[in-house]
Chains A and B, each alone.
Chain A
Amino acid sequence: MILFAQTLLDALSLGSLYALVALGIGLIFGMLRLVNFAYGDFITVGAYSLIIPSTAATATMIVESAHVGAVVFIVCTAVVVVALVSELLAFRHVRQAKPATLMVTSFAVGYTIQNAIIMIYTSRPKSLGLWSELLTPLDFGPLRVPALQIVTILTTSILLLAMTFLVRRTRYGVQMRAAAADFDMARYLGVRAGSIIGLAFIMSGLLAAVVSLLVETQIGVVSPNMGVNLMLFGFVSVVIGGIGSLSGAVLGGLLIGFASALLQAYLPDGVRAFRDAFVFGLIILTLLLKPAGLVRVTATKERI
Chain B
Amino acid sequence: MPHDVLLAIDGLEARYGRTIAVRHVSFEVRRGETVCIVGPNGAGKSTILKTVAGGIRPASGKIEFKGRRIDGAAPEDIARAGLSFVPEGRHVFAGLTVEENLLVGTYMKRGTGRTPDLGRIYQHFPRLAERRRQAGGKLSGGEQQMLVIGRALMARAEMLLIDEPSLGLAPKIVDQVYEILLKLQREERLTLLVNEQRLDRARQVADRVLIVREGAVQLRIPRNQAIDEGSMHNAYFGFDAMAMT
Q: Do chains A and B touch in the complex (CB under 8 A)?
A: yes
Is A178 at the interface (CB under 8 A from chain B)?
Answer: yes
Also in contact, A177 and B95, with CB within 8 A (given A185-B87, A187-B75): yes
Is B29 at the interface (CB under 8 A from chain A)?
Answer: no
From B53, B76, B135, B137, name the one whose CB has the most chain A CB atoms within 10 angstroms. Answer: B76
Please tell me if the beta carbons of A185 and B93 are within 8 angstroms of each other in the complex: yes
Also in contact, A191 and B55, with CB within 8 A (given A174-B100, A175-B104, A297-B95): no
Residues of chain A at interface, number, CB under 8 A? 21
Question: Which residue of chain A lies nearest to B152 when distances are taken between CB atoms in the complex?
Answer: A189
Please tell me if the beta carbons of B74 and A193 are within 8 angstroms of each other in the complex: yes
Is B132 at the interface (CB under 8 A from chain A)?
Answer: no
Please tell me if the beta carbons of A189 and B79 are within 8 angstroms of each other in the complex: yes
Is A95 at the interface (CB under 8 A from chain B)?
Answer: no
Cα distance A157–B94 in the bound complex, in angstroms: 28
Is A181 at the interface (CB under 8 A from chain B)?
Answer: yes
For window 25-57 of chain A, which residues contact chain B by CB distance below 8 Å?
none
Cross-interface CB contact of A189 among B95, B105, B135, cutoff 8 Å = B105
Cross-interface CB contact of A298 among B75, B80, B94, B101, cutoff 8 Å = B94
- Chain B proximity mask over A42-86: 1 for CB below 8 Å, otherwise 0: 000000000000000000000000000000000000000000000
Please tell me if the beta carbons of A174 and B55 are within 8 angstroms of each other in the complex: no
Also in contact, A184 and B94, with CB within 8 A (given A175-B104, A193-B76, A300-B137): no
Give the interface SS of chain A, mostly helix, strand, loop or mixed: helix
Q: Which residues on A sit within 8 Å (CB–CB) of B151?
A: 189
Shortest beta-carbon distance, B177 to chain A, in Å?
A: 19
Q: Which residues on A sit within 8 Å (CB–CB) of B101?
A: 178
Interface size on B, as a range, is 20 to 34
Cross-interface CB contact of B79 among A171, A182, A187, A300, cutoff 8 Å = A187
Shortest beta-carbon distance, A165 to chain B, in Å?
A: 15
Cα distance A197–B163 in the bound complex, in angstroms: 27
Is B16 at the interface (CB under 8 A from chain A)?
Answer: no
Q: Which residues on B sit within 8 Å (CB–CB) of A178?
A: 93, 96, 100-101, 104
Is A272 at the interface (CB under 8 A from chain B)?
Answer: no
Shortest beta-carbon distance, B74 to chain A, in Å?
A: 7
Cα distance A102–B233 in the bound complex, in angstroms: 48
Question: Which residue of chain A lies nearest to B154 when distances are taken between CB atoms in the complex?
Answer: A189
Also in contact, A181 and B95, with CB within 8 A (given A188-B53, A189-B155): yes
Is A285 at the interface (CB under 8 A from chain B)?
Answer: no
Please tell me if the beta carbons of B103 and A174 are within 8 angstroms of each other in the complex: yes
Please tell me if the beta carbons of A187 and B95 are within 8 angstroms of each other in the complex: no
Cα distance A297–B95 in the bound complex, in angstroms: 8
Q: Which residues on B sit within 8 Å (CB–CB) of A298?
A: 94-95, 135, 137
Please tell me if the beta carbons of B93 and A190 are within 8 angstroms of each other in the complex: no
Is B242 at the interface (CB under 8 A from chain A)?
Answer: no
Cross-interface CB contact of B91 among A171, A182, A190, A299, cutoff 8 Å = A182
Cross-interface CB contact of B84 among A188, A191, A192, A300, cutoff 8 Å = A188
Q: A178-B101, A187-B79 are in contact. List 12 more A-B contacts (CB 8 A).
A: A171-B103, A178-B104, A181-B96, A182-B91, A186-B93, A188-B79, A188-B87, A189-B84, A189-B152, A191-B76, A298-B135, A298-B137
Q: List 5 A-B contacts (CB under 8 A).
A: A178-B101, A188-B54, A188-B75, A190-B155, A297-B95
Q: Across the A-B interface, give the 9 residue pairs with the lowest CB-CB distance, nearest first.
A: A189-B105, A190-B79, A187-B75, A185-B91, A181-B93, A190-B108, A188-B85, A178-B104, A187-B76
